[in-house]
Amino acid sequence: MTGITYRSETIRSVAVVGAGLIGGAWAAFFLSRGLDVKVFDVDPHGNEKLHETVAHALADLEQLGPVNVAGTDRLTFSTDLVAVLKDCDYVQENALEKLSLKQALLKEITDLTPADVVIGSSTSSFRPSELQAGGGDAARIVVAHPFNPPHLLPLVEIVASPASDPAAQDAAYRFFERLGKAPIRITREASGHVANRMTAALWREAVHIVAEGIASVEDVDRAIRFGPGLRWAIDGPHMLYHLGGGEGGIEHYLRHLGPAQEARWRTLGNPSLTDDVRQLLVDGVKAEAAGRSIGALGARRDRNLIALLKVLEAEDRRQRDEAAE
C-alpha cells in the first residue's frame, strides 16, 4: 500500500514501551532471542521491577533450552521515550488499556521512529483502527497481541485494519515467526481478536452451567482440564472435529453429526453476571484454589506450561527429522 519495505529480518534492537508484567515478559523474550532491548516507562522506579520480572521470565525460558543472551547486559531502562526509540528496529507498546493514552503514545512513537519501523500494540481490548484514530502514521501500527504469559505462550495475534499496510502486518508476522513464536494474521478486525473471542465463548457456557446448577465450578474446570483441554494443546477445534469424523473426516462429521451440533448450539446459555452468579463463581473458585495464593497458582501454571511446551517441541523436532529423511 505504501511501497515501504518494513524492517523484519534485519531487526536487532527492540523498544518495549511500558514496563509492567506484559512489557517485562516481552523484554525477557526478546532478550532470549539475542536482541538488544530498550524499555520505556514513566515510573522512575520501574527499573528494579523490570529486572525482577525479566529475571523470572528468563529463568522460565532457560528451562526450555539455551537462551541467546548474556545475562541482562543488552537490557536498558529509561523514562526518556526519545532515548528508548533511538535506533530501534521494532516497537512493542504495552501501555495501560486506556484508549486515549494509547492513541497519544502511538502517535508520538510514529513521530519519533523511521517510516520502515513497525509498531505493535499488545492490546487485548482495542482494534487497530481505534488505536490509529489518534493520528500519526497509521499504516505501520498493528495489534501484536500475545497470550499471557507472553514469554512462554507462542501465540501472537497480528491484527490489521483497513488503514494498516499489509506489508507492515507481513513484516511483523515474519519477525515473530523468526523468533519462534506462532503468529496468526487477522485481516478483519473483531472485538477481542480471535483467541479471546473463543475463550469468551467457552467461559460464557462455563458460567451458564454453574449458574443453572448443572455442575460446580471445580467440576467444570476439571471437565476442560482432563478432556478437551488436553486435545486443544495438540490441535485446534476444526482439526479435532476432522478427526472426530473418522475416515470420512470433517465432511462426514458435518453431514452426519452437524444437525446434532446445531441442536446443542441452540441449548447454549447466555448468562448475566448478577450478584448471585458472581458469588457462585467467587465461592467456587475459592474452593478450587484451596487456599493457594495467586502467586502459587501462577507458578504452578507456568511449570506445567513449560513441561507441556517441552513435549510439544520434542514432537515437532521428531516430525522435522522424519521429513528430512
Each domain of the chain, given as residue ranges in start order, spans 13-186, 195-291
Q: Which of 179, 156, 19 is nearest to 84 (CA)?
A: 19
For the segment 238-264, what is each residue's pLDDT rounded down to a tens digit? 999 999 999 999 999 999 999 999 999
Domain 195-291 CATH assignment equals 1.10.8.80: no
For the segment 40-63, what is each residue's pLDDT rounded down to a tens digit? 999 999 999 999 999 999 999 999
Q: If you average pLDDT over residues 26-33, what whole number do you get?
A: 96
By the 8 A CB rule, do 211 and 271 touch?
A: yes
**What is the reported pLDDT for 212?**
97
Task: Determine the CATH number of domain 13-186.
Answer: 3.40.50.720
For the segment 210-219, what is each residue's pLDDT rounded down to a tens digit? 999 999 999 9
98 three-state secondary structure: coil
Cell of 80: 526518556
Does pTM top 0.75 for this prediction? yes
Residue 100 CA to residue 198 CA, distance in Å, equals 27
Helix ranges, the chain (H): 21-32, 46-62, 81-85, 99-112, 128-132, 166-178, 195-211, 217-225, 228-232, 237-244, 249-256, 258-267, 275-289, 294-324
Q: If you average pLDDT over residues 149-164, what whole number do you get?
A: 97
Residue 24 CA to residue 90 CA, distance in Å, equals 16
